[in-house]
Structure 1
């Protein structure tokens, strides 16, 4: 059942409350046991719209507790629901499902609810103000953002907005991997460009260094800031300085790239700072105290003969098999340095100290790490005696296309399409919406030609065009002295009601999407709502009396303008979650 507060009840929440009240009456009459749990009772549209407007499983899930059969309990529920003036008919279907057909007035009243709530329509209180930490992007700070990062960035950012819309407090976090060997490679690459800026001829970039021109400005900056004192000095002298400076400049570049997509994080956490603060050591101590880390010998690699130089080494191992992993995992390497998993484990323990739930958005190539990091967070929760919900969303890579031909990219070679180049070519809104038109775990193609097509097959165009048409209609109405008004909405017919029914799904979709952590559901909903709007619009092409503005009936015109205004509001609310602009004209 919905947790929405009474003063913000939307249609679905209101009818969920009505059914809840009926169940309370049955408890009072002795037909249901006192304090019968109702958390499994659902109220949602039936799969087949011909069955009615809403359906509930109340009798199916409560019959056993009532020590009766579902149809008998359904009969008692239906008797009470049929007395409600907003319900035209309540009927029993199959083994005990209940279908409801609502009055037209109930649906039309929802237009007033949209108008009253405005930009708050669809907001929910299900989050209860709990804090959710959403970590996304977290790309290595070794170069500009490219399309390998884009999909996860958009999914994470839209999810954060969705959770806020559903009543959570959200911390948007970026984990800076600035303690690994790749940062040493970055520093050496920047030093080469630094020497170049000081006049050295560097020739071809040596194998193993980053060759991209994006490091040229970094080298020039370092030359201005540091002069030539590190030009010929030993690597041990300049490496720490160049590491820090290069990472800072790369993060400035990454933040600027993300800003082009409208993405801004609340928190940037440094892996190097985490290690400098001794957090992995604290984590190891805590885990040993709870018998979750022990010293043991790592098994030889499975499925193939061990390398010639492999030998058994005793390492500190995390008991990840206790939590479903296929083997225990080392938190340190044989040279005493922390494994990525060891540092990551400490990082998640740190995050869990300030959040009620954790969500990570990772690339699908990290799928092998999911089980062990979930095991670590489970261990933390067990040791602290509290629940820490933790979800990892895996995002598949995007295959870039141009006119049906695949584009290649390689970060190491410097031959890749940057996020900035992509946004410049097709625009922020196209990139963001397109990235949410498929489930994140599904493969995706991004064709530069197709994503800018003005057609029904292009979802972002289809939805934005619906809003642009609404804006155009409102401007035309204003030019003719017609203001939207609810006074005549009783004149709206079945075609208009179909549009209202689609828009009224929005609050329910928001709650379902937030609970499932699936922002793409909002994009799917907007495409369906846009399709319903365009279908209604097209009626007016053949039937002038179906147009929004009917010259001979001003009251009906005002009512239809009121309808259009509320559909536009719902589209804007949905697009705002996705971080996409609701355009006024196209």
Structure 2
């Protein structure tokens, strides 16, 4: 058996997966003896912790969802299921609640064994094969290559990167993609701005930056590099002679800067796709031809702009229109402008078709200001799927902007950029881990404030500190134990009591949290979980302040201390695994 096969097989041994398998085995027995009809579908059967921990350790809806197929009432079916469940030595009780839910309490031995599973799997504890090696393309950041990364890009960058890591951990093959918008008018503005800095580098007095050009100091070194490379040949040349060269050179310089900024956050993409290259390769024309062949593009006239009256300069123009209303959009959308150039939507449609050729599913992480584009792009991908006769799941994650604060006061200006705080400035001040974790402490669709003072506070109200402190505290405890001659051991897990096993129960949630977060495409669930797990650890640790017998290290009780240190070590392992998914270091000292 290969290492990968062994690991894949071991994933199923985590506690929640194991007990879900036990429930399915009981259902298979009931199907075999005729209680359930042959061919009963078990797909909607869930086994998960009940909302109220007082109801038990696990609950299943099996009787509720299968009663109709069995042509019986849920409570009667639940009685037959529980009769078989309680025959398992690891299930202390199986009680019927309400209309037919089944609540189970597990043996201490089951939880103690889970600690050994965490230790055996190590960094693979929580890893899943649920993705089935499906190829998922995650496109994120995709900032226009016109300047350094700033806070408007940061949150989407972190969300996309954490989502990609989460999907990989859950068994998908992930392609991390960045779409370079290097074919629009903003790139011409960049080229003109770089040419101005080029003239400055050659000694010209450029004065104030003209309105409409990019004013940031970040273009000064670009101008110097161009002057060194090109000399003065373009200093007084007409724009037609230098625009293409300066566009290519300045975009390359900006992408180097963007990649460098992203690297500060530990973010690296697998693939950079150029819009200019897409158009040069004729991909939009191919997409238009394909769509016309499937009667999804036609020549028509756009409706007048909505309002009391159309603008005076508005004229009806026949344009190629995509039938996005067929897929739920409120109007058909042009894929070309009146001058024959591709609209942003037309180029983006071709780009998504290109992505779909090599992926089983697509995910885009966009800023919330792109919300109006979601429906039409989803329509385009739906059209592609329909035409190809296949399913291409497509999800768009919208990320709200972040308000930068310092001690409650808004921050806006940056000398380097001209009008915004750069990502590099943020990371330099508070560190990569603080930025990354903080970006995941709220749902991406929720508004967020990033207060430079609060995110570095050493308090429970600062989630990144609270979680990292839990991991550091664990390693401090392990070092203290080693200094006193104690070492962790899983040989005496039977000495762990109720309070300790509560910690195990929290840790054992991790594999199912990973799968649910991956299925929902929501990496922030990992951050929420880690905060709760850290809280559970801190609560138990603080218990020892009032009850010395509850400390991790208990003098002259070697076996008990070894068991508790083993417990602490495995809690630390789970925290480390979770932080790794978020791209945050699990520090051992603070």
Q: TM-score range by the shorter chain?
A: over 0.9
> 1:151: how far off?
0.2
Q: In the alignment, is the contact (CA less than 8 A) between 1:210 and 1:412 conserved in 2?
A: no
User: Is 2:423 the counterpart of 1:419?
Assistant: yes
Aligned pairs for 1:146-545 within 5 A: 146-409=150-413, 414-545=418-549
- Cα distance in 1 between the residues matched to 2:416 and 2:482: 57
> 1:6: how far off?
6.0
Where 1:89 maps in the other structure, the secondary structure is strand
Where 2:490 maps in the other structure, the secondary structure is coil
- Cα distance in 2 between the residues matched to 1:139 and 1:6: 40
Q: In the alignment, is the contact (CA less than 8 A) between 2:321 and 2:332 conserved in 1?
A: yes
Question: 1:35/1:411 Cα in 2 relative to 1: closer, same or farther (>3 Å)?
Answer: farther
User: Is 2:25 the counterpart of 1:21?
Assistant: yes
Aligned position for 1:119: 123
Where 1:565 maps in the other structure, the secondary structure is helix
- Cα distance in 2 between the residues matched to 1:334 and 1:415: 34
User: Is 2:37 the counterpart of 1:33?
Assistant: yes
* Residues 235-283 of structure 1: CA deviation (Å, up to 9, x unaligned): 0110000000000000000000000000000000000000000000000
Q: In the alignment, is the contact (CA less than 8 A) between 2:152 and 2:401 conserved in 1?
A: yes
Question: 1:410/1:374 Cα in 2 relative to 1: closer, same or farther (>3 Å)?
Answer: farther
Where 1:457 maps in the other structure, the secondary structure is coil
> 1:478: how far off?
1.3
Where 1:63 maps in the other structure, the secondary structure is helix
> 1:576: how far off?
0.3
Aligned position for 1:90: 94
Q: In the alignment, is the contact (CA less than 8 A) between 1:5 and 1:125 conserved in 2?
A: no
Where 2:83 maps in the other structure, the secondary structure is helix
- Cα distance in 2 between the residues matched to 1:533 and 1:304: 62
Aligned position for 1:100: 104
Aligned position for 1:564: 568
- Cα distance in 1 between the residues matched to 2:416 and 2:286: 35
* Residues 9-59 of structure 1: CA deviation (Å, up to 9, x unaligned): 200000000000000000001111112111111010000000000000000
User: Is 2:74 the counterpart of 1:74?
Assistant: no
RMSD: 1.2
> 1:7: how far off?
6.0
Q: In the alignment, is the contact (CA less than 8 A) between 2:414 and 2:422 conserved in 1?
A: no
Aligned position for 2:4: none
Aligned position for 2:148: 144
Question: 1:261/1:25 Cα in 2 relative to 1: closer, same or farther (>3 Å)?
Answer: same
- Cα distance in 2 between the residues matched to 1:409 and 1:566: 45
Aligned length: 584
- Cα distance in 1 between the residues matched to 2:547 and 2:73: 51
Stretches of structure 2 lacking an aligned partner (at least 5 in a row): 1-6
> 1:303: how far off?
2.9
> 1:488: how far off?
1.5
Q: In the alignment, is the contact (CA less than 8 A) between 2:507 and 2:574 conserved in 1?
A: yes
- Cα distance in 1 between the residues matched to 2:314 and 2:326: 26
Stretches of structure 1 lacking an aligned partner (at least 5 in a row): none
User: Is 2:59 the counterpart of 1:63?
Assistant: no
- Cα distance in 2 between the residues matched to 1:491 and 1:26: 37
- Cα distance in 2 between the residues matched to 1:490 and 1:265: 46
Question: 1:35/1:171 Cα in 2 relative to 1: closer, same or farther (>3 Å)?
Answer: same
> 1:305: how far off?
2.4
Q: In the alignment, is the contact (CA less than 8 A) between 1:4 and 1:126 conserved in 2?
A: no
> 1:308: how far off?
1.1
Q: In the alignment, is the contact (CA less than 8 A) between 2:217 and 2:416 conserved in 1?
A: no
- Cα distance in 2 between the residues matched to 1:410 and 1:236: 33
> 1:408: how far off?
2.2
> 1:116: how far off?
0.3
- Cα distance in 2 between the residues matched to 1:93 and 1:551: 45
Q: In the alignment, is the contact (CA less than 8 A) between 1:211 and 1:412 conserved in 2?
A: no
- Cα distance in 2 between the residues matched to 1:307 and 1:573: 58
TM-score by length of structure 1 reads 0.98
> 1:153: how far off?
0.1
Where 2:405 maps in the other structure, the secondary structure is strand
Question: 1:544/1:49 Cα in 2 relative to 1: closer, same or farther (>3 Å)?
Answer: same
Where 1:558 maps in the other structure, the secondary structure is helix
- Cα distance in 1 between the residues matched to 2:150 and 2:191: 20
* Residues 102-154 of structure 1: CA deviation (Å, up to 9, x unaligned): 01110110000000000000000000001000000000000000000000000
1:134 to 138, 152, 159: 138
